[in-house]
Amino acid sequence: MSSLEELSNAVIGGDQDAVVELTRQAIVEKVDLNSIISRGLLPGMTVVGRRFKNGDMFIPEVLMAARAMNAGLELVKPLLVDGEVPVKGTVVIGTVEGDLHDIGKNLVGMMIESNGYRVIDLGIDLEPQRFVAAVREYKPQVVGMSALLTTTMLAMKETIEVLKEEGLRDSVKVIVGGAPVSQEFADEIGADGYAPDAASATELVRRLIG
């Protein structure tokens, strides 16, 4: 088994100490830094996402794997020429106005970030204008909105309307999720996609950004 495969397995197992040790070892052995990320750290999280989606892994294990992966990433980051990990795209996420739930949103953000995307988490209880401002500032490819209450779902529709009014709707893909949200609702409000869980959201982002 190659050292990068070992690194992937350590990420999958959520073994932070092993990830740190194997990453250090790869750096000492002058393994290409981008390979450490793209062939060691990230593939591990891809497997974790798949297992989580299939019900073979649970949130605590996903959190441990993500923490382990990030510990490896922190060692590689400062050594990259410009200190920047190459990112596949930018995703803005947030919980809509009137809703204070963030556990699902946080997990989605972590999974997407672990797959090589830059994630801007705006937080909770966000009025439509906050999403609009973030689209202007960060120029993301995807905006993800979360709602856990049926009463706040309509804020998703409102945010999409405001993005249209501001002439920004065509520049960004909008995805929605949360317990009461469905594919049918996503279609109804004109969203570009719906994800029932964090792993599906990551796949959706991958598909939309390409």
pLDDT, tens digit (0-9, with 9 covering 90-100), for 57-110: 988 998 899 899 989 988 998 887 766 666 899 999 999 999 999 888 988 998
Give the rounded distance of the alpha carbon of 69 from its chain centre.
14
Instruction: Encode the chain (210 residues) as per-residue pLDDT tens digits.
Output: 789 999 999 999 999 999 999 999 999 999 998 899 889 998 898 899 889 888 999 889 988 998 999 899 889 988 877 666 668 999 999 999 999 998 889 889 988 888 889 999 999 999 999 999 999 999 999 999 999 999 999 999 999 999 999 999 999 999 999 999 999 999 999 999 999 988 899 999 999 998
Work out the widest C-alpha separation in the chain, in whole angstroms: 55
DSSP-derived secondary structure letter, 167:
T
Model pLDDT, residue 83: 61
Domains of the chain: 3-79 (1.10.1240.10), 90-209 (3.40.50.280)
Residue 18: closest CA among 50, 35, 38, 41: 41
Comparing CA positions, the residue from 54, 181, 180, 49 lying closest to residue 107 is: 49
Predicted pLDDT at 138: 97
Amino acid identity for residue 210 in this structure: G
Confidence at residue 80, expressed as pLDDT on a 0 to 100 scale:
79
Output the pLDDT for position 82. 66
Two structure tokens written together for 202: 């990551």
DSSP 33-94: HHHIIIIIIHHHHHHHHHHHHTTSS-HHHHHHHHHHHHHHHHHHGGGSTTS----S-EEEEE
- In what helix (H) or strand (E) does residue 175 lie, and over which residues does it extend? strand 173-177
pLDDT value for 199: 84
For residue 39, which amino acid is it?
R
What angle do the packed helices 16-28 and 3-12 form, to 10 degrees?
160
Under 8 Å between Cβ of 158 and 195: no
Report which secondary-structure segment, H or E, holds 189. Answer: helix 183-189
